[in-house]
Amino acid sequence: MYPDIFMPVIYIFYSMTEIITEIKTKNITVDILKNRTIGVIGYGNQGKSQALNMRDSGLNVIIGNPKDSYLENAVKDGFKVYNIEEACKKSDIIFILIPDEIQKDVFESKIMPNLKEGNTVVMASGYNYFYGFLKPPEEINIIMIAPRMIGWGLRDLYKRDMGFPVLAAIGNDHSGDSRDVLLGLCDAIGVFKESGCAIMSSFREETLVDLLSEQSWAGAILFIFRKYFEVATELGASPEVAILEMYASGELAEIAESMKDIGLFRQLKTHSRTSQYGQLTRGPEYAGEEITNLIKRNAMNILNGIFAREWTNEQMTGEMVFQKLHEINQEHPMELAERSLYKLLGRDKND
C-alpha cells in the first residue's frame, strides 16, 4: 500500500506549543499506570531500554517478540516473554518498538487482531501512522513518544537520574485520558528526570524533522567529508591524516557536545579565533540558495509521500538499489584508508 498523497503545496510552520519538563498536576503520575499491563513489542535497543526503565519505575511490563536472540535477552533480564499475539492480548498499553519497514505487516497480522477497545498503542516515531500505513480502529488510543536519544543512552541516563527529550503526540484519544497516560509513560521511561522534557508535537512534525535531518545535514556530512578527503589527498595530505582531522580524532564529537550544551553558534567561542573567522566567512559558501531549494524539495517529498512511496517500492523489489549503494560506497579509496587508520589506532571497525 502506498501512502496517501497530500496537498500539492503544504506550508511549513512553527508548531511547537508546549514543553513539559515535569508532571506538575499531582494526579498525573506514573501511578495511574500501576494497574495496567504494558506490552513492549520488540526487545531491541529501544525496546530493552524502555522496558527496563518502566519496570524500574514500578510498572508491570511484559515482552512480545519472535523466538530469536532478542527474546533470549529479555528472558535473561527477567521479563515474562510471549509471542507478539499473546503479549497484545495480555496488554492494556502496547509499545511498537520494531523497525519501521516491518511495522505494517506485523501490526496487521499480529497486533490489530488482538487489540481490545480502550487499548493504547504507543508509537516511537510518526512515520507509519502519518503516512497511513497503520490504520488502527477508532476505539483504540494512539499516542507517540519519540525519544531524541539512542537506545542505550535512555538506559544510561535513567540510571544516572538524568532525563532526555522526547517528541510526544496524541493521534487518537478514544478513552479521553490519553494525555495523562502519555505523560505517565514519559515519566516511567525517565523523561522527567533532570534536564529532560516532553515537547508536545504531532506525527506530521516528527516525520518531517526526523526524515529531513537524515536526508539533509546528516546525509550531506558524509559526502562533504568524502569531497574534503578527495581534495586534501589530491593536494598532498596523507589519507590517514585527512580522516583523523575530519572525525577519527573524536574532536567532532566534542564539538557536537558543545552544540548540545551551549548552542550551535555560541560554541564557536570554544574554537581559536582563526577557526572562528574561517567558519564564519567560508561556511556560508556551502549553504547558498541552491542548498535551501534542495532542502525544501526534500521536505516536500517527505510531506507529500513521494519518499515513503519510493522507499516502499525499494523494499518490495528486494532492496537492490539500497544494497548496491552500500557496495559502491565501500569501494571508495577513503574506506580503505579508514580501515588502515583504524587498524593503526587499534579500533574495531563495524561493517
3-class SS string, the chain: CCCCCCCCCCCCCCCCCEEECCCCCCCCCHHHHCCCEEEEECCCHHHHHHHHHHHHCCCEEEEECCCCHHHHHHHHCCCEEECHHHHHHHCCEEEECCCHHHHHHHHHHHHHHHCCCCCEEEECCCHHHHCCCCCCCCCCEEEEEEECCCHHHHHHHHHCCECCEEEEEEEECCCCCHHHHHHHHHHHHCCCCECCEEEECCHHHHHHHHHHHHHHHHHHHHHHHHHHHHHHHHCCCCHHHHHHHHHHCCHHHHHHHHHHHHCCCHHHHHCCHHHHHHHHHHHHHHCCHHHHHHHHHHHHHHHCCHHHHHHHHHHHCCCHHHHHHHHHHHCCHHHHHHHHHHHHCCCCCCC
Beta bridge partners of 63: 40, 81
More confident residue, 73 or 30: 73
As a whole number of angstroms, the distance between CA 221 and CA 227 comes to 10
Is 193 within 8 Å of 162 (Cβ atoms)?
Answer: yes
- Single-letter amino acid, residue 334: M
CATH architecture, domain 18-200: 3-Layer(aba) Sandwich (3.40)
Instruction: Please report the pLDDT score of residue 23 as a whole number.
Output: 65
> How high is the mean pLDDT of the chain?
91
pLDDT tops 90 at residue 2 = no
Instruction: Pick the closest to residue 45 from 152, 145, 123 (CA basis).
Output: 152
Higher pLDDT, 248 or 6: 248
Whether 12 shows a pLDDT value over 50: the answer reads no
pLDDT score at 39:
98
pLDDT in tens, 136-183: 999 999 999 999 999 999 999 999 999 999 999 999 999 999 999 999
Is the Cβ–Cβ distance between 186 and 145 less than 8 Å? Answer: yes
Can you give the pLDDT at residue 11? 43
Share of the chain above pLDDT 90, in %: 87
How is residue 342 written as a grid cell?
A: 583504524
pLDDT band for 350, please (50, 70, 90 cuts): low
d(CA 129, CA 194) in angstroms, rounded, equals: 31
Give the pLDDT confidence score for residue 3 in this predicted structure. 44
pLDDT of amino acid 34: 86
Domain ranges of the chain: 18-200, 206-344
Residue 32: pLDDT band (50, 70, 90) is confident
pLDDT classification of 109: cutoffs 50, 70, 90: very high
The predicted structure's pLDDT at residue 98: 95
| Tens digit of each residue's pLDDT (9 = 90 or more) over 268-295 | 999 999 999 999 999 999 999 999 999 9
Could you report the per-residue pLDDT of 50-107, keeping only the tens digit for each? 999 999 999 999 999 999 999 999 999 999 999 999 999 999 999 999 999 999 999 9
How far apart are alpha carbons 351 and 346 in whole angstroms?
Answer: 16
Q: How far apart are CA 114 and CA 41, in angstroms?
A: 13
What is the dihedral angle through the alpha carbons of 315, 316, 317, 321, rounded to the nearest 10 degrees? Answer: -20
Percent of all residues in the chain with a pLDDT value above 70, rounded to a whole number:
92
Binning pLDDT at 50, 70 and 90, where does residue 31 land?
Answer: confident
pLDDT for residue 213 is more than 70:
yes
- The mean pLDDT value for 113-131 works out to 96
Alpha carbons 212 and 336: distance in angstroms, whole number:
30
Rounded CA-CA distance 343/67 in Å is 36
pLDDT recorded at residue 13: 44
pLDDT above 50 for 341: yes
d(CA 44, CA 99): 9
